[in-house]
Structure 1
Amino acid sequence: MSKKCVKCGQPLPDNASFCPHCTAVQTEKQEIKTPRKWKKKALAAVSVLVILAVIGIAFSMYHRPQTYEGGAQVVYKDKDKSYKVLLTFSEQDGMTGHAQGERTDKLSEGMDSALPCMLYVLNEDTGELAVEEFSQKVESCQMDTEPQENSQKMEYIEPVYSKSFPNAAYVSDVYFTSDSGTNDIKWKLTMKNGDTIFLSTRLTVEKRPAVTYYSEDTPMETTEELNELLASIEEEIPSDTPVYLHLPPVTYDGDITFGNHVWGIYGSKDGDSETTFTGTVSMKGLNGNYADLAGIRFEGESGTGLNAYCYVILSECSFSGWDTAAIAQNGAWIRACDCSFTDNTVGLKFNTSSAYGSSPNYLNNIFTGNGTAVCIDSLPGDEILDFAGSTFSGNDTDIENRADHPIDTAKATFE
């Protein structure tokens, strides 16, 4: 035994923990420190911060600005409401909630046209239109056209609310030619809460080859020659093939009917002589066909100058001396720009059951000395007839609107 008591010095076994002689404890006492309270508090604080951080991240993820991307339709959620936001070229489809992801139109070679691209909004739960409610949440609305390979960029007007389509939130007129090809039409809505909505649709224009006749190559100097040519066209050329006629500066007497084709009829001048019709011209153009008439003089003594049974576009044409200068019959439409209507009983008359939403412009026309310059007997739809730049002078009645159709004469001149 080499171990001795730390107090009395008596020999002890090596593993003795106390002395049997003096009862002294042989192990060294160590101070036991109690846990400090600040560590517990710190640990609790860290735990609270971690929980708050998780909650904050979750809250931020839920409430941060959202991006909604789709094709021609998305469902946009704002607070406790959901909205179906969609693009279409059809008013009826828009009001019933049917998006149009793509559309293909055929256009005659060398022609141009336009279509309204419309954005509609419906309540996702009820299916009811929610234009006004949704529009109040919108900060800005933008649109662009993106041509695909071997295509040309289509022009457009920035989206706005249009009275011509009162049930649409925004409308943009897209302009194209027969060579435009395919364009993606892309919309971007920035919401006041920071959300962003992206929509897109596609418009494809297919060119229809045309047959063109020039007076230098084809006999059409007289009414008889022109009627013979028109008869051969009806017999030999399919109705879905456009026909362009470049008429000589002569006067055609008697009635003339242009049949079931897409027509481009262009007059010409040579000194005081110009292409003139003195009888009634009837434009049949059935099955959705249309006619473009430019630079032609209609000079009569009574009767009707132009009988339109299809969609007819008039530019730089003049009408004088008729009971009715130009009338859109049932199922037809007439658009006139840069034309003159002088000394007619009725200048431009609508008596139709069809509406063409992309053709409401009657710009820079002159209505002088007519009994009634414009008479609207029957005309459906909500498109606003815009007479910006037109002049009304010396007419007994400038506009007789029996159908109570919406018109805009704010930028017209009345003398």
Structure 2
Amino acid sequence: MSGTTKRCPRCGAALPEAAAFCPHCARDLHLRKRPHIPTPMRRLFYARRPYVPQVYDSGSAGEVHYALDGTAYQLTVAWPDNRCDPAPDIHQSGREEDVTRWPSRLYVNCKSSGTDGWDEFSQQVASVHMEVEQDPQGASDLIAEDPVNRDEYSPDAAMVSVLEFTGDCGEPQVGWVITMDNGDTIRLRQTMHVTLIHTHVYDYHDYPMETMDQLKALLDQIQAETNRLDEVIVYLPPVTYTGQLELTDRSYEFHGCTDGSGRTVFTDTVKVATADSYWLNYFCDIDFVGSGGGVGLSMSDNGRAERCSFTGWRTAMLGYGTAWVSLGECDVRDNTIGFHFSSTGQSANDYLFNDNVFADNATAMLLENVPTDQAMELDGCRFTGNGTDIDNRCDHPLDVSQAIFE
């Protein structure tokens, strides 16, 4: 028998050897351990740790995928006709002595639908700026203007930065830098591959182009011996061309005769459908003389007429397809429709429709569809004797403050 008396830990009374409870205070003799609750040290650590800003870089892909408040976004540098297709490499050309301006466009798309997500995304954007890494082999620098919203020019783009460069700048890289409110940095890179322009001049004193057949043969020769990025200038003789002329493939700059020996005249439709055009198609100092029907100058690709005359057409000058077309210092008279814009393109170039005379047309200007919201400026234009001066069916922005209506 043990010499040690077992006692109740509650009241101190002596206990029988195998007692499960104290006969004196009736308390349970099995002491329960209080459970240990672990301190969530790891969870507290991560909850209190400050957010570390991240850098998202497109590299050579031209796009970055970024999640914000549960929404996945695609940020791209792209062309306006396909906002979801990245354009990390842009090929341009320019003259050594002339400045070329080209718009780099930023798009923010909802990844699931491909639709514009800039309005929501921009609420958490702290800043957007441009960086340029110049080509060390280039002879001049590319300059990127501060990015801004250009709804009147490129309404689908989140922001636009106009790049200025000459043809000898080489291959500089442009960087869109978007800084978010949370400190994240998003970089979208776009490399400009700029080549020097080679200009080819074809003068009627040196090449046969007295007839329409000769002119067409010369244009076939030009197509075979020049690159689409080359600038081609054709000086036409003082002759009257009969028959239609359709321009395909590359773009051209045509100059009519101005030496006093006579004018260059086209009496049938000149159709511009230059699928591989790089430059604007220019028509300068040329008379388009119709016989009451047809279209004088029909353009489905970008172009401009300067110091030309249009007389006797159902439609004197027509812009359609995706083309932006314009005219300046032209005489447009005695046509059913003088100038007809029916284009659904996404870009504008020369917005100056200056110093034109619209006289004795049934309708001087018919604006059915005009690309972008870029205002057309009609400074110095004179409208006289027309049935309708301007039929602005699409309610396109016009500046007629300096125009004359008689």
1:294-339 per-position Cα deviation (integer Å, ceiling 9, x unaligned): 53132536445633354242253332423222123x5463522533
Alpha-carbon offset, residue 134 of structure 1: 1.6
Contact 1:314 1:339 (8 Å CA) reproduced: no
Are 2:180 and 1:198 aligned? no
Q: Which residue of 1 aligns with 2:224?
A: 238
Cα deviation, 1:46-80, whole Å, max 9, x if unaligned, reads: xxxxx9xx9599633x1x65544333222345555
Residue 295, structure 1, aligned to residue 299, structure 2? no
Aligned-residue identity in percent = 21
From 307, 332, 339, the counterpart of 1:317: 307
Corresponding residue for residue 376 of structure 1: 367
- Deviation for aligned residue 1:410: 4.0
Alignment of 1:157-196 (within 5 A): 157-163=145-151, 164-174=153-163, 181-192=170-181, 194-196=183-185
Question: Deviation of residue 130 (structure 1)?
Answer: 1.5
Per-residue CA shift, 1:345-389, capped at 9, x if unaligned?
Answer: 22221345x625243724435253243232234x48x52253125
2:88 is the counterpart of 1:101: yes
- Aligned equivalents of 2:387, 2:166: Cα separation in 1: 40
Question: CA contact under 8 A between 2:244 and 2:270: conserved in structure 1?
Answer: yes
Determine helix, strand or coil for the equivalent of 1:308.
strand
Residue in 2 that maps onto 1:265: 254
Q: Please say if residues 155 and 372 of structure 2, whose CA atoms lie closer than 8 Å, have aligned partners that are also in contact.
A: no
TM-score normalised to structure 1 length:
0.67
Give 1:28's aligned residue.
none
The answer for unaligned runs of 5 or more in structure 2 is 1-40
Map 1:11-410; keep pairs closer than 5 Å: 59-60=49-50, 62=51, 66-71=54-59, 72-78=62-68, 81-92=71-82, 94=83, 97-104=84-91, 115-124=102-111, 128-148=115-135, 149-150=137-138, 152-154=140-142, 157-163=145-151, 164-174=153-163, 181-192=170-181, 194-206=183-195, 211-220=200-209, 223-224=210-211, 227-234=213-220, 237-238=223-224, 241=227, 243-247=232-236, 250-255=238-243, 257=245, 259-260=247-248, 261-267=250-256, 269-270=258-259, 275-289=263-277, 292-300=281-289, 302-303=291-292, 306-323=296-313, 324-328=315-319, 331=321, 333-345=323-335, 346-351=337-342, 355-359=345-349, 361-369=351-359, 370-377=361-368, 379=369, 383-390=372-379, 391=381, 393-394=383-384, 395-402=386-393, 404=394, 407-410=396-399
How far has the Cα of 1:85 moved from its partner? Answer: 1.9
**Alignment size in residue pairs:** 349
Partner secondary structure for residue 361 of structure 1: coil
Equivalent residue, structure 2, for 1:40: none
Shift in CA distance, 209/360, structure 1 to aligned 2, threshold 3 Å:
closer
Q: CA RMSD in A?
A: 4.2
Please list every run of 5 or more consecutive structure 1 residues that lacks an aligned counterpart in the other structure. Answer: 1-50
Structure 1 residues 91 and 414: alpha-carbon distance in aligned structure 2, compared to 1, 3 A threshold: same
1:277 Cα offset (Å): 1.9
8 Å Cα contact 2:125/2:178 also seen in 1: yes
Task: Label 1:124 to 1:331 Cα distance change in 2 as closer, same or farther (>3 A).
Answer: closer
Secondary structure at 2:214 match in 1: helix
TM superposition score normalised by structure 2: 0.68
Q: How far apart, CA to CA, are the structure 2 residues paired with 1:124 and 1:311?
A: 32
- Look up the equivalent residue of 2:376 and give its one-letter code: F
Larger Rg: 1
- Distance of 1:168 and 1:73 partners within structure 2: 14
